């Protein structure tokens, strides 16, 4: 679980972060008691070790992706062309998807066979595509986010449906039934709340959820 304290914002237009990737802004942050230079690439914020940073609807509170980052294999920042997604269908396995979309930007969990992984692709403007493969073959489900502030939506022609509902729709229904996290009034209250939750959570919840970490902004 990492702490992120956002401090000084810099603008660094057209700074190449990697072949095909452009850094448009940078920011000094603190994660795990170490200062990082966060980079905005393709409309999303990234730490130096390529964990995605996203702001919540609470102004100073941020999410850090990759709580189980030892199971996330990040490959590159080359942007995906979303127009290619229409050429993918649910019968395709990892090799066929790779032939159309190229190699994924990141893979989770990296210790599983490709047919049991989730592949993430990122495009310009914050676009994100997540493809969840099925161990029985083909694609189990796929979601996309049109930008860095949107919630995941089903890719209509790649969505798995059971009793008329997609996996994403079922997830959203269950999420609404869960008790809402109380919004803390201060960072110190947030840290106390988070320590208490971590103490109560079983090991699997703390170590295997790739998207559950929270960060605090100053």
Q: Report pLDDT digits (tens) over 53-107.
A: 887 666 556 678 766 778 899 999 999 999 999 999 999 999 999 999 999 999 9
Contacts of 15 (CB under 8 A, 6+ apart): 22, 23, 26
Model pTM greater than 0.75? no
Q: Report pLDDT digits (tens) over 115-126.
A: 999 999 999 999
Average pLDDT, the chain: 77
CA 146-99-143 angle, 5° bins:
25
SS3 content of the chain, % helix, strand, coil (to 5): 25, 35, 35
pLDDT of residue 44: 93
Place of tokens 């940073």: 53
Q: How confident is the model at residue 8 (pLDDT cuts 50, 70, 90)?
A: very low
**What is the spatial distance between Cα 88 and Cα 172, in angstroms, rounded to a whole number?**
25
CB 119 within 8 A of CB 97: yes
């Amino acid at each position: 679980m990492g702490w992120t304290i956002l401090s000084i914002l810099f603008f660094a237009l057209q700074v190449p972060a990697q072949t095909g990737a452009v850094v448009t802004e940078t920011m000094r942050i603190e994660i795990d008691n170490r200062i990082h230079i966060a980079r905005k690439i393709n409309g999303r914020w990234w730490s130096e070790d390529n964990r995605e940073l996203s702001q919540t609807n609470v102004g100073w509170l941020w999410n850090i992706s990759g709580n189980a980052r030892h199971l996330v294999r990040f490959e590159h920042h080359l942007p995906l062309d979303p127009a290619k997604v229409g050429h993918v269908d649910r019968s395709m396995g990892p090799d066929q998807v790779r032939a159309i979309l190229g190699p994924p930007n990141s893979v989770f969990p990296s210790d599983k066979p490709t047919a049991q992984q989730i592949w993430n692709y990122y495009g310009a403007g914050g676009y994100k595509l997540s493809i969840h493969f099925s161990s029985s073959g083909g694609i189990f489900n796929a979601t996309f986010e049109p930008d860095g502030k949107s919630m995941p939506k089903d890719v209509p022609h790649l969505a798995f449906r059971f009793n008329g509902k997609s996996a994403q729709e079922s997830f959203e229904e269950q999420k609404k039934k869960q008790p809402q996290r109380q919004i803390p009034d201060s960072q110190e209250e947030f840290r106390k709340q988070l320590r208490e939750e971590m103490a109560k959570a079983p090991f699997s919840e703390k170590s295997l959820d790739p998207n559950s970490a929270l960060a605090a902004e100053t």
